[in-house]
Structure 1
Amino acid sequence: MDTPLAVRARGITKCFGDVVALDGIDLDVAQGQIHGLVGPNGAGKTTLLGLLLGLAVADGGRLEILGAPVGRALAAPDGVAGFVDGPGLYPSLTARQNLAALVALRGHDPRTGAISDVLDQVGLTDVADDRVRGYSLGMRQRLGLAAALLTRPRLLVLDEPSNGLDPAGKRHVHGVLTRLAADGTAVVVSSHRMDDLEALCSEATILATGRVVFSGPLSKLAAENRELDYRLLSSDLPAARRLAADTAGITVVDDARAWRGAEALVVRALVPALDELVAGLVRSGVAVRELAPVSSPLEAAFLALTEEEEEAGR
């Protein structure tokens, strides 16, 4: 049985005057999935997030969120929470007071334990009674996530949630999003941090000039993308170099790149050729100590897309 969709978009268009922000967008996001949204500046990511949050309406196409068609009114669909361009917060209030104000606006009792619970989830308990004006960017991002969690959303939409986060803050945020997805919440994350998206997302959509140029599992992106550069550390670098040179579809890019105090072989290949090289190394008794893309498949696709746009604009 197929997993129900939290987002189903077909042929979505959105214009601002003569500017076409979204041009026939199709998007599927399943419940319990963390879906990444990637693209150069001006690709239409913020516009699409705004449609999902009810901050704007599409000019054309059909959008369904949590199984219900989205109408023409500017209103956040039930069960949806998140933020675009950073969370809106009251700087003169503490974190706890900000959340209490949000709870009160929804007509609920702000004295419930939900506020303490979400502050704990995002790692802000120790500074919950400090005024937000003294918060760092990363702390504000975490507080924005806490505000979204108060509604127990079934679809969470986040714009650059890792912005300004230190390693501890990132760990908190990643843990929260992973647990939400495991409990069935759909999460859409827009970010320029490719490492974050690859650590979190099972699928991603890449936008360019308002159009989808890729949408699907990250593993599919790696298989379909142009050749990638891979860093190879082995027990016998000369033997690995010879095998790489003799393997069809493999190009040796750099045979002595320093990496963490050791020499590494850098090869360029598609996934099938890389698999053949690894099999050959194993047959020859050469241990593979590390094999990883120099740039991730998602980052490589993003850079290739950016380069193509720059060339088209010349």
Structure 2
Amino acid sequence: MDSTLAIRARGITKCFGDVVALDDADLEVAQGQIHGLVGPNGAGKTTLLGLLLGLTVADSGRLEVFGTPVGRAFEAPGGVAGFVDGPGLYPSLTARQNIAALAALRGDDTRSAGIDDVLGQVGLTDVADDRTRGFSLGMRQRLGLAAALLGKPRLLVLDEPFNGLDPAGKKHVHGVLTRLAREGTSVVLSSHRMDDVEALCSEVTILATGRVVFSGPLGKLATENRELDYRLLTSDPEHARRLAAEAPGIHLAEDTDGRPGGEVLVLRAQVAALDALVVRLIHEGVSLRELAPVVSPLEAAFLDLTEHRTSESPQRKTHAQQQETGR
């Protein structure tokens, strides 16, 4: 196996009864990379995270973590920590006691387990001695992250870690994950929040009905051959409207404020056509105040790649079974 990879999965299939959760899925995650896992509900994201944490085992395929094949035992591979479906906490215990209980279960010396350090990393020092039954969802998510950090994992696996976080909490968690990756820790996270995925992840895997429909750098999703809708705000909206209407490859949509002659224009265009319009606007003395996709490239690609699959009936056969019966 490539020594620079933290995860290498090939042909992973997992069924629960006649429901195919993962169908011939591949995944590669480099060491020190934050890798996003996105997909509609029921796409197989939680199942894949569970495989990495040793909570379930694949029916077929091969999974390696840091070069070591993951066997059939229900246990997390060495150096892996995280949570799925939210962190499990004891509501009657304080934040500090929850972390100490986890340390004790792992056989660590709770006096030197770094409890205060991990609580400080996630910004929970001030509530370390408060019972967790009163914690908000965001505080519970941060405590779950603290628990995962306790053993200084080489691979961190997180399921919807940004749920319930306020802007300050999200910024704090972003900083923690970015620092960990910079120090060499690999992170795999699932999220429905495309802004978080785009802000943190260098690569992303998109799942739909158990199959990988895209895996690679985010830049590949922002292809210059795909038309996107863009918001355009300028110093002279009427002049910008006339130039956009004349420009090849530019399609004017209804203004976002719903009024003819509104200040914000919505344009559908490929990148090359949009670039040409911007050059012409500047040449004619029209200043740009805002130019941004209405829907992010990741979200647009997500919808393109998953909508037609999720509209189909649920899978009842794996890809391999379909090939077999089709012969």
Instruction: Judge same fold: TM > 0.5, yes or no.
Output: yes
| Percent identity over paired residues | 76
- Show structure 2 runs of 5+ residues with no match: 315-327
Query: Which residue number in structure 1 is paired with residue 133 of structure 2?
Result: 133
| TM-score normalized by the length of structure 1 | 0.93
Query: Structure 1 residue 3: deviation in Å?
Result: 7.9
Aligned to 2:324: none
Report how many residues are paired.
311
SS of 1:245's partner is helix
Distance 1:208 1:226 in 2: 20
Cα displacement (A) at 1:62: 1.3
Give the 3-state SS of the residue equivalent to 2:119 in structure 1. helix
Q: Counterpart of 1:169?
A: 169
C-alpha spacing 1:80/1:256, structure 2 compared with 1 (3 Å): closer
Q: Deviations over 1:104-133 (max 9, x none)?
A: 222222122611111111111111000111
**Alpha-carbon distance, 1:255 to partner:** 4.5
Residue 106 (str. 1) matches residue 106 (str. 2): yes
Which residue of structure 2 lines up, in the alignment, with residue 38 of structure 1?
Answer: 38
Q: Partners in 2 of 1:191 and 1:157 — Cα distance? A: 12
Give distance in 2, aligned partners of 1:246 and 1:308: 34
Counterpart CA distance in 2 for 1:225 and 1:181 is 32
2-side partners of 1:16 and 1:60: how far apart? 13
Any idea what SS the aligned residue of 1:163 has? coil
State the 1:63 CA deviation.
1.1
- After superposition, the CA RMSD in angstroms is 2.1
CA drift of 1:239 comes to 2.7
5+ residue gaps in structure 1? none
Q: Which residue of 2 aligns with 1:229?
A: 229
Q: Which residue of 2 aligns with 1:59?
A: 59
Instruction: Give the drift of 1:313.
Output: 4.6
Give the 3 Å change call, closer, same or farther, for CA 71–299 of structure 1 in structure 2. same
Q: Does 1:85 find its partner at 2:85?
A: yes
Distance 2:85 2:128 in 1: 23
* Counterpart amino acid of residue 61 in structure 1: G
> How much has 1:74 moved relative to structure 2?
1.3
Corresponding residue of 1:190: 190
Q: Which amino acid aligns with 1:195?
A: D
**Tell me, what secondary structure is at the counterpart of 2:221?**
helix
Contact residue 225 and residue 301 of structure 1 kept, 8 A: no
Secondary structure, counterpart of 1:20 in structure 2: strand
Instruction: Report the CA distance between 1:38 and its aligned residue.
Output: 0.7
The alignment partner of 1:223 has SS state of coil
Mark the CA change 1:203 to 1:3 in structure 2 (over 3 Å): closer, same or farther. Answer: farther
**Is the CA contact 1:3–1:30 (under 8 Å) kept in the aligned structure 2?**
no
Aligned to 2:115: 115
Shift of 1:309: 3.7
For residues 203-260 of structure 1, what are the alpha-carbon distances to aligned partners after superposition, in whole Å with 9 as ceiling and x for unaligned? 11110001111111222111168421111112222232233223332211134648xx
| Letter matched to residue 4 of structure 2 | P
Contact 1:229 1:268 (C-alpha < 8 Å) held by counterparts: yes
Superposition map of 1:247-266 within 5 A: 247-255=247-255, 257=257, 263-266=263-266
Task: Return the TM-score normalized by structure 2.
Answer: 0.89
Instruction: Say which SS state the counterpart of residue 278 (structure 2) adopts.
Output: helix
> 1:113 and 1:50 mapped to 2: Cα distance?
25
Are the aligned partners of 1:257 and 1:266 in contact in 2 as well (CA < 8 Å)?
A: no
* Rounded Cα–Cα distance in structure 2 between residues aligned with 1:48 and 1:225: 31
Aligned to 2:322: none
Runs (4 or more) in structure 1 with deviation over 6 Å come to none
- Partner of 1:312: helix, strand, or coil? coil
Partner of 2:223: helix, strand, or coil?
Answer: helix
Partners of 2:225 and 2:91 lie apart in 1 by: 45
Which whole-Å deviations, capped at 9, do the CAs of 1:90-111 have from their partners, x for residues lacking one? 1111000111111122222212
Write the letter of the residue equivalent to 2:254.
Answer: D
* Cα deviation, residue 54, structure 1: 1.1
